[in-house]
Amino acid sequence: MKAKKKSVVDRIPNWAWLLISLAVALLVWTALSFGEKTGRSFCHPWEIPGIFVTVAFERGILLSDIASSLLTVVAGYLIGFVIALPLAILMAWYRPVRYVVQPWIQFIRNIPPLAYVPLIVLMLGVGRQPQITVITISTTLIMSITIYQGVVNIDETLIKAARVLGAKDKDVFVRVIAPASLPFILTAARLGASTALTTLIAAESVGSGLGLGMRIRAFNSNYEPGPMLLYIIIIGIIGLIIEKLIKFVERKLTGWQEKREI
């Protein structure tokens, strides 16, 4: 560790580092856009605003694609959460449920959703329903495992402490287990949101008329790398915004924690 004076690294504020990081990325991107092979995938950064105007206003597809994808993601994610929470609690409380269900959650979790999408299409056909189903499956798996692990790892001394103070089962659940699980539930919510987005492309591969994932494949078939890149960046930005939102809620609700960060 270097001591003495504050080093240059420390003296530059975080927002400035963000700008520097952005500048470096733009520089790398620009370099790539001039490469013979890499230039095929990467348009020049300064072309992006023009492409944005084209897809957003002239062709008018961007907003409806975002809306469609968000609807799919949010619906699948919310259903996933509603299933995952009680499932996790059941797994934590009833060992038979744990022993029967958990191995399969682990098993399916490691299969890329793209692999089982055709099976879902066979059952549900094309349209929004199978898309939501794919996202529900992937988010349920990750969220139930995360919440379950949190609930079983609740510090048992806290439950003991509540009991010796006279807490009944109901008190223990409402006043100890629920608040103690909250950090894990929020972590699960964050991981679930990121899974929902990464599953989007697979989900929309079932064939749909709208959506960010579907559009990227359409751009691909028409050889439009510029709009493709723009859409990819937009997916990244949406992910970032969702993560920041959930982190904000986490800080508000679980600021009492000794340490966190996953």
Partner 1 sequence: MAGEARDLKTDTRPVKVKIENVVKKFDGRNGEMIALNGVSLDIHENEFITVVGPSGCGKSTLLNIIAGLLPATSGRVLCNGKEVTGVGTERGVVFQQYALFPWLTVQKNVEFALNMRGVKGKQAQEEAMQYLEMVDLAKFANHYPKELSGGMKQRVAIARAYAADPEVLLMDEPFGALDAQTRTQLQTELLETWEKKQKTCFFITHDVDEAIVLGQRCIIMSARPGRIKDIVDIDIPYPRDQETKLSPRFMELKNHIWGEVYKEYLEVRK
State the residues that interact with partner 1 by CB under 8 A. 155, 157-158, 160-167, 171, 175-176, 179-180, 182, 254-258
Closest distance to partner 1 from the beta carbon of 185 (Å): 13
182 vs 232, which CB is nearer to partner 1? 182
Closest distance to partner 1 from the beta carbon of 180 (Å): 7
Q: Record the tokens describing residue 48, joined without a space.
A: 């992006």
20 vs 155, which CB is nearer to partner 1? 155
Closest distance to partner 1 from the beta carbon of 176 (Å): 7
Closest distance to partner 1 from the beta carbon of 150 (Å): 14
- 131 near 188, Cβ under 8 Å? no
Cα-based torsion angle of the residue sequence 165, 170, 172, 176 in order, rounded to the nearest 10 degrees: -120
177 vs 202, which CB is nearer to partner 1? 177
48 vs 158, which CB is nearer to partner 1? 158
The span from the CA of 13 to the CA of 133, in Å, is: 44
